[in-house]
Each structure stands twice: as C-alpha cells, then as structure tokens.
C-alpha cells in the first residue's frame, strides 16, 4: 500500500497487507482508509504483457468488488505492468533478506502506481 500527501503530489510506500485471508485483508484496508481519511483508492491491475486480463487480474477485480461492499471510497484501476520491475531497479542497493526485499518492492511498486495516477490527474 502507498499513500499520497494531502496535496496529492507525492506517493510514498506505506505498508504491505497480506491478503491471504480475504476478510483480514479487507479489514486492514478499511482500517487504513479510515485512519488516513482516504478519498480515492487506486488499485494496480496486473494485466498480461499483451494488455489482456488474465487470471491474476480477475482475482484482483473480484477482491476489489468485495472491498467496494465495505467502503464507499471510489476505486480506480491502473495498469501495473512492470511496476515491480521498476521498483526493484530503484531499490537494488538495499541489502535486506529476500522476503523483506519482496515486501519492500511491492510497497514501492504501489507507490509507483499511485504516483503515476497523481501525475496524470495533476496534468488534466
């Protein structure tokens, strides 16, 4: 997860929410929404390299449908292709364990997705 600053200019990594247990994942996300008074949710959609919707993207869409039943905050999808690759490149020099590195890469990827959204909406 990532959050932007109040002016919606800069995205920063916040945390990783393990959504292995859907109910706990939803509760954790709703908790962050309430704690930080989130006004817009931007969700990375893992499209295939050809742009199609694969099984993982379908799982994300189903999860978001469930999330939308627990919050009225509007949700927008963003194409997340290659954001984890970009995040790994940005964080290459960090020397952490593989599991922590993967979690950190996911948080940075979330920040990159949100930053792309913020940049796009600032220029419109």
Domains of the chain, by residue range, sit at 2-122
| Global pTM value | 0.70
pLDDT at 96: 52
Kindly tell me the burial class for residue 50, based on how many C-beta atoms sit within 10 Å of its own C-beta (0-12, 13-18, 19 or more): exposed
Position 64 scores a pLDDT of 96
Q: What is the CATH number of domain 2-122?
A: 3.30.420.140
pLDDT by residue (tens digit) across 75-97? 999 888 766 555 555 555 555 55
Quick one: pLDDT band at residue 36, thresholds 50, 70, 90? very high
Beta partners for residue 41, in sequence order: 75
Distance CA 47, CA 90 (A): 22
Residue 123 banded pLDDT, cuts 50, 70, 90: confident
């Amino acid at each position: 997860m990532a959050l932007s600053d109040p002016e919606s200019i800069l995205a920063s990594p916040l945390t990783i929410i393990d959504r292995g247990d859907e109910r706990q994942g939803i509760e954790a996300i709703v908790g962050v929404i309430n704690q930080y008074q989130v006004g817009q949710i931007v969700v990375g959609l893992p499209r295939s390299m050809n742009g199609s919707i694969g099984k993982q993207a379908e799982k994300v869409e189903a999860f978001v449908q469930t999330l939308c039943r627990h919050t009225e905050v509007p949700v927008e999808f963003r194409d997340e292709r290659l954001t984890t690759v970009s995040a790994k490149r940005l964080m290459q020099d960090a020397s952490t364990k593989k599991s922590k590195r993967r979690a950190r890469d996911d948080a940075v990827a979330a920040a990159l997705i949100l930053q792309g959204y913020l940049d796009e909406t600032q220029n419109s």
